[in-house]
Structure 1
Amino acid sequence: MRDFDETFDFVVVGSGGGSMCAALLMRQAGQRVAILEKTELIGGTTARSGGVMWIPDNPFMKRDGVPDSFAQASRYLDAVLGEQADAPGASPLRRRVYLQQAPRMVAFLLQQGVKLDRVREWPDYYDELPGGSVPGRAVVAQLFDLNELGEWKHRLRATFIQAPVPASLEEMLELPAYKQSWRVKALLLKLILRAVWARLSGKQWVAGGAALQGRMLQAALRAGVEIRSSAPVSELLLDAHGAVCGVQTLKDGQPWRIGARLGVLVNAGGFAHNQAMRDQYTPGTSVQWTMAAPGDTGEMIREMMRHGAAIAQMQARVGNQQTHPPGSEQQEFKPGAQALTAAPHAILVDQSGQRYMNEGGSYMAYCQGMLARHRQVPAVPSWAIFDSQYLRKYMLAGTMPGSRKPQQWYDTGYLKKADTLAALAAQLNLDAAMLEATVSRFNGFVANNRDEDFHRGERAYDRWLGDPFHRPSETLGRIAQAPFYAVPVLPGDVGTYGGVVCDEHSRVLREDGSVIAGLYATGVSTASVMGLAYPGPGASVGPSFVWGYVAALDALQRAREAGHTP
């Protein structure tokens, strides 16, 4: 064993959701744990996200009588992922272990006092396939009062969900329809009253990833986990037998060596903010398009590679289609465009004026489709084409339905506006006849309530993304009322999706399949168990938690076999 400045039983690199989950299990077993976060803020990209976990057969589905099982979820994953020989992270064994351990992980968090629940309806992204769930398998944290963290509340990374009233993620998903539904109007009144009560009672409610990571941080602190920020790890340390036994980090700005008796878990994110790695593995994408946390720069993947770790699925990203109005370049969170072209009265076209995909569906598939199209026809950016009906009824780049759009949007050319499609095409440098033919063909599909080209609206998730009050289709609506509009859409992301290859115990593997002793990994530092697809909401956050849990289980089992005592 090397000469260390300090020793713990288990050391975790990065402070995302899987880190907290592993630490809680270790602490339950009486082990000393340190979580080392290189940035000033705790929570990683998990905190910035919607905080959703994709957990099949979870206890809340059982509570609510929503049918699911290991067998049903297994059929679904097999149908979505197929063989995927180039995705070793999604091996049949790892898929099986994920489906077995995911509901157990949720049960464990509930035992630790972490308050979770399911979203009543958030369909799987390929719900039409065998085993798909229309109610969905999404698990989220209940609203959380940041003030419960005390001084730590200022150290938790903020979420992208910024709402004027304290609302859960599920409630926020309903709010854009407030002009169309008395039920949603009543919900808005409820939220306003909640905001008033929060002000009077001194509460600071947060939702999404901030709620999930706020609750996880609270539980970890109560359990006695040592959590350090501004503590970057620069090196994995090995013992005389080549096993990972510690890390080189900083403490109070000074070099510091920490030993790890039971192993090191890396949950340090991917490489979304590393343009050189993007150019190597995901060419044609930009660091300007990511929603990942700033610390997502890939050096821990490189460090594990230095010790022989195999990597895979590096071309994959968790897509997040975006539109960037003027001023958003300086914004921490870029406006998403997930529902923009899935709503009625809107489509997506490439730079030739042709529609080329189902504008609903998985955001990962959407961005994959845009980049694939761009290799054939210029399509980055693509153009969202919509009419005045859309602007009256739906949100655009974070602005409310029917609201006056900033003049700067028009002046800079971000938001194009024209009285005819031909005039709009001229502004976009598109072939007018092609754009008119594309819109005419789409309008014909609307009239027949069937998208013969790309089948938009045939799966429940497409319809869920659309307008529940629009009939006969929630997602198909004519583009017919002048003036006509367009905004650019980019293939953004919330993080990369490839990394080191792990086995069914979260142990990092070499190219020859052997295990790097003492080294575990989870989150987007790894090649995802979901392969090159995104089966449902939270298909990156869920695995981060589950494989962190599995890593801790394995390390504890090996400690018991070796006779280690805390």
Structure 2
Amino acid sequence: MSETFDFIVIGSGGGSMCAALQMRAAGKSVLILEKTDLVGGTTAASGGVMWIPNNRFMKSEGIEDSAEKANAYLDAVVGDSKDAAGASRERRLAYVEQAPEMINFLVDQGIQLRRIPSWPDYYDVAGASVPGRAVVSQLFDIKKLGVWKEKLRPGFLPLPANLDEAMQLPLIKRSGKAKKVLARIIGRVLVDKITGKQRATAGQALQGQMLHAALKAGVGIRLNAAVKEIIVENDRVTGVIVGVQKISARLGVLINAGGFARNQRMLDQYIPGTSADWSSTIDADTGEMIEEGQRIGAATAQMAERIGMQISLPPGSKSLAVKPGMQNDICKPHAIVVDQTGVRYAGEACSHAEFSQRMIERNKIAPASPSWMIFDSQYLATYMLAGTMPGAKKPKSWTEEHFLRSGDTVEALAASCGLDASTLKASVERFNGFSRKGRDEDFQRGDHPYDQWTGDPLSTPSNTLGTIEKAPFFAVQILPGDVGTYGGLVTDTHARVLRADGSVIEGLYATGTSTASVMGRVEPGPGGSIGPSFTWGYVAAKHAINNVKN
């Protein structure tokens, strides 16, 4: 038995339902094929943040931005590289133009979005936005999905709290503002209990809204429907094989099946020294559609790149879908990160993607995977650690299984960690000197707007610098985890998949982490993968509808 649709989408992650909504708005039939039993992909389990320059919310709030400013920023941060085909200047220009249009389209479809009030771009260069370009979903009542509620992939934050509100919660013992935020969240919990709502946040809210809109628009969605083969006839992609069934596509096929962060064989081939066990992507992020694209002649690029997220693995965390991220931990006062020789090698307050990249680079010349986060009792009493709230009391298993190491002196801590005592002591003393002077002369930690934002807003005179001097001293290992790979199929400004010679594979489109990212080797700001996933899905559907061949 065979079927025919206008458009087929492989995978149900970030850009899939965006493309499907565009198709349905044009009166075209569309089918989403999801290989797992849950909808939403890694996007649903993530923060659900989209990096969207010059977006409507910035304009409505009077925040300065423009295409020119955003392009200058991407030129400075991403730049041009012959071996980063996904991040050509032409594609960057197209992204800056199309991303805000995509947001306008979603709003017109009834998707309720908002701008996070403050989340600076990650790099302090020309064109950066200090208020930030982060767009997220409003809270969404997933009970509106009816029977599909149980088919939506769970999120990481089971509270009706916006991301910017959740970021305040670690401060509740020290901040009146944070106490008010907590009261607001508790109020929502009570209202939801009384009214029968179940408001979700972050990526689950975003994908919940997208699923709700897609179902309402008449999008076909099939679960447990893994694509085995992409069909090519007369030099054009015409459909797919699912099981033994052929499903044809009149206008095209869009690949949005994720990257390969959970495929150890591909990691060993393209990003050696990394582990699938360190990833916070979903288990299905295994790259077979990238390889299927290669089979039919598609070019790939940037396969050595990933969106890093430094993590820790406390006892019991290896089975967690989302590993404890450490970026918001290591940037706080009274803490540094050193390699296995005891040397500090990077500014801890930079973005998670940049710091993880530094870990991998450092590991090529000195053992740094894992590295050690070194901190003192001031830190432990004040800040979160590996997903636990501030305070000295930690799970007993942390010490029993040697996850949390300690020592009454820095030298004793070094012995516990197998580090050279004199080297570690010198690293700590050097950082302490910088903290007392108020300037990190080695890595300029705290000099940039993002550093200050991600630090402790209640710490003075610096949000991120603070001496490591109050015993006992502590350490935990951190690893260069990820939230996805950044390399894959090469696409053009219309999201069409290309061959190595630059020619188009007619009828085949791709978006998300199945592609070589438009951001090249960096994440310019929060949402550097989800924003492009939605945008190129939107672009692909528009092109397929118009069937423009240029």
What's the TM-score bracket when you normalise by the shorter of the two chains? over 0.9
Equivalent position SS for 1:360 = coil
1:156 counterpart residue number: 152
Establish whether residue 210 from structure 1 lines up as the match of residue 207 from structure 2: no
Establish whether residue 249 from structure 1 lines up as the match of residue 271 from structure 2: no
Deviations 1:400-456 (A, max 9, x none): 111510111011110001110000000111111111110000011011111000011
1:541 counterpart residue number: 530
Establish whether residue 337 from structure 1 lines up as the match of residue 326 from structure 2: yes
Distance in 2 between residues matched to 1:408 and 1:294, nearest whole Å: 26
Q: CA deviation at 1:346?
A: 0.4
Equivalent positions of 1:130-529 (< 5 A) are 130-162=126-158, 165-239=159-233, 241-250=234-243, 255-402=244-391, 404-529=393-518
Q: Percent identity?
A: 57
Q: CA deviation at 1:198?
A: 1.0
Establish whether residue 102 from structure 1 lines up as the match of residue 99 from structure 2: yes
Equivalent position SS for 1:284 = coil
- 2:375 and 2:468 in contact (8 A); partners too: yes
Distance in 1 between residues matched to 2:246 and 2:395, nearest whole Å: 53
TM-score if structure 1 supplies the norm length? 0.96
- 2:282 and 2:321 in contact (8 A); partners too: no
Q: CA deviation at 1:158?
A: 1.1
Q: CA deviation at 1:174?
A: 1.3
Distance in 2 between residues matched to 1:85 and 1:546, nearest whole Å: 23
Distance in 1 between residues matched to 2:208 and 2:524, nearest whole Å: 26
Equivalent position SS for 1:238 = strand
- 2:229 and 2:240 in contact (8 A); partners too: yes
- 2:348 and 2:445 in contact (8 A); partners too: yes
1:78 counterpart residue number: 75
Distance in 2 between residues matched to 1:403 and 1:220, nearest whole Å: 47
Q: Which amino acid aligns with 1:65?
A: G
- 2:49 and 2:135 in contact (8 A); partners too: yes
Q: CA deviation at 1:161?
A: 2.4
- 1:449 and 1:472 in contact (8 A); partners too: yes
Distance in 1 between residues matched to 2:251 and 2:319, nearest whole Å: 43
- 1:247 and 1:259 in contact (8 A); partners too: yes
Q: Which amino acid aligns with 2:484?
A: G
Equivalent position SS for 2:484 = strand
Establish whether residue 49 from structure 1 lines up as the match of residue 38 from structure 2: no
Distance in 2 between residues matched to 1:435 and 1:403, nearest whole Å: 23
Q: CA deviation at 1:341?
A: 1.0
Equivalent position SS for 2:246 = strand
- 1:17 and 1:216 in contact (8 A); partners too: no
Distance in 2 between residues matched to 1:387 and 1:17, nearest whole Å: 40
Q: Which amino acid aligns with 2:113?
A: L
How big is the alpha-carbon RMSD for the aligned residues of Structure 1 and Structure 2? 1.1
- 2:281 and 2:321 in contact (8 A); partners too: no
Q: Which runs of 5+ in 1 are unaligned?
A: none
Equivalent position SS for 1:425 = helix
Equivalent position SS for 1:328 = coil
Equivalent position SS for 1:553 = helix
Q: CA deviation at 1:362?
A: 1.8
Distance in 2 between residues matched to 1:186 and 1:262, nearest whole Å: 52
- 1:323 and 1:488 in contact (8 A); partners too: yes
Distance in 2 between residues matched to 1:281 and 1:192, nearest whole Å: 46
Equivalent position SS for 1:477 = coil
Which region of structure 1 is more displaced relative to structure 2, 185-194 or 267-276? 185-194
Equivalent position SS for 1:414 = coil
Q: Which amino acid aligns with 2:386?
A: A
Q: CA deviation at 1:333?
A: 2.1
Which region of structure 1 is more displaced relative to structure 2, 223-232 or 395-404? 395-404
Q: Which runs of 5+ in 2 are unaligned?
A: none
Q: CA deviation at 1:331?
A: 2.1
Cα 1:403/1:206, change in 2 over 3 Å: farther
Deviations 1:476-507 (A, max 9, x none): 11111111000000000011110010000000
- 1:340 and 1:384 in contact (8 A); partners too: no
Distance in 2 between residues matched to 1:350 and 1:6, nearest whole Å: 56
Q: 2:59 aligns with which of 44, 57, 62?
A: 62
Q: Which amino acid aligns with 2:212?
A: Q
Q: Which amino acid aligns with 1:464?
A: W
2:10 counterpart residue number: 13
